[in-house]
Amino acid sequence: MSLNVSGLSQYTDENKMDLIKKSVLRGRTVDLLTVQGDIKSSATINIIDSTLTAQAGACGWSEAGSTALTQRELSVDAIKVNESICLDTLEAYYTQKMMNPGSYNEEIPFEAMYAEEKADKIQDMLEQIIWKGDKVAGSGNLALANGFLQLFDGSLSGSVVDANVDSVTAVTAANVIDIVDGIVDSIDAEIIDADDLHIFVGYDFYRTYAKALRDANLFHYTGAEDQGMEFSQMVPGTNVRMVAVKGLNGTNKAVASRAANLYVGTDLLGDFEDFKIFYSEDNDEVRFRLKAKIGTQVAFPEFVSYFKLA
């Protein structure tokens, strides 16, 4: 009589491999822009601007010139993340092998991996909100606060510089070099010598541009691999650095400005890193808690060149 195994399921060793997390492209916008902390609800960006009127030398006093003090409001919105895990649920699956003996489990057996995963996802959420956040038209996490694109398409649409100089309707390998040159040309002459001029684009836009440069310049192309930062390079012949940021992926939009001109407001930037993982004895579950504040603003909108498709 042959061996009958029809009553068995084929064996799969679920404990052979370590738990791995999904890769997330980490955000880096906050490392490049101006971060204003200690904001509970709103604060002002205080601006001084003066005109200097010189006169021919002579005796007497004739007043001329002026100094203006103005402000721009930087508001932040409070966000939170609450998650709970019933550890008893893990006992019915392969995760039981990770748990300590006994029924009083009070720690996630893979807590280090869990914390690392949450840290990456928080950075991704922050990056997305800073650029794409829209409290009116956004959905999910993007509806929690307003980002730069909402400002440029909304209240500041008449103040920022239109950088789509040729009214293009698509970003392609054939036109992307001209698009970037047009963005650079649109930057106000008053700031063109600044040492922190950036063009922020999505990784998709950046890759199209980098490939077009490589193909156009053949073996003379020098890209990010020679310029000290991945997915970042100087626009040839200029002092403007193009930087890819995840928050602009899929938008076909570009923002050129001094980094110091773009403000990210928060109460404490460390709040996004100092989340809490704790055991709640009253509820017999492990809880994850994040509380933070985020907002965006521009000091001088006239010094922002904004590219979007016509």
CA distance 123 to 288: 16
Other beta carbons within 10 angstroms of residue 35's beta carbon come to 13
pLDDT of the chain, 310 residues: tens digit per residue: 466 557 757 555 555 445 655 555 567 899 999 999 999 999 998 888 888 899 898 898 988 889 999 999 999 999 999 999 888 888 887 777 788 888 788 888 888 888 889 999 999 999 999 999 999 999 999 999 999 999 999 999 999 999 999 999 999 999 999 999 999 999 999 999 999 999 999 999 999 999 999 888 755 666 655 566 789 999 988 999 999 999 999 999 999 999 999 999 999 888 888 899 999 999 989 999 999 999 999 999 999 999 999 9
pLDDT at 4: 56
CA distance 83 to 309: 39
CB 288 within 8 A of CB 57: no
CA distance 166 to 182: 8
Q: Which SS3 state, helix, strand or coil, does residue 226 take?
A: helix
- Per the rule left: phi > 0, alpha: psi between -120 and 50, beta: everything else, 183 is alpha
CA angle 7/10/13 to nearest 5° reads 135
As a whole number of Å, the CA-based R_g of the chain is: 26
Other beta carbons within 10 angstroms of residue 303's beta carbon come to 22
CB 306 within 8 A of CB 200: no
CA distance 49 to 69: 7
pLDDT at 90: 80
Other beta carbons within 10 angstroms of residue 261's beta carbon come to 22
CA distance 237 to 97: 60
Furthest CA-CA distance within the chain: 123
pLDDT at 112: 86
Token pair of 224 as six digits: 């990010």
Burial of 305 (0-12, 13-18, 19+ CB in 10 A): buried
pLDDT at 181: 97
CA angle 13/17/18 to nearest 5° reads 135
Other beta carbons within 10 angstroms of residue 183's beta carbon come to 24
Residue 307: alpha-carbon gap to chain centroid: 17
Concatenating the DSSP letter of every residue in 18-74 gives: PP---------GGGTSEEE---SSEEEEEEEEEE-------SS-----EEEEEEEEE
pLDDT at 20: 59
pLDDT at 267: 92
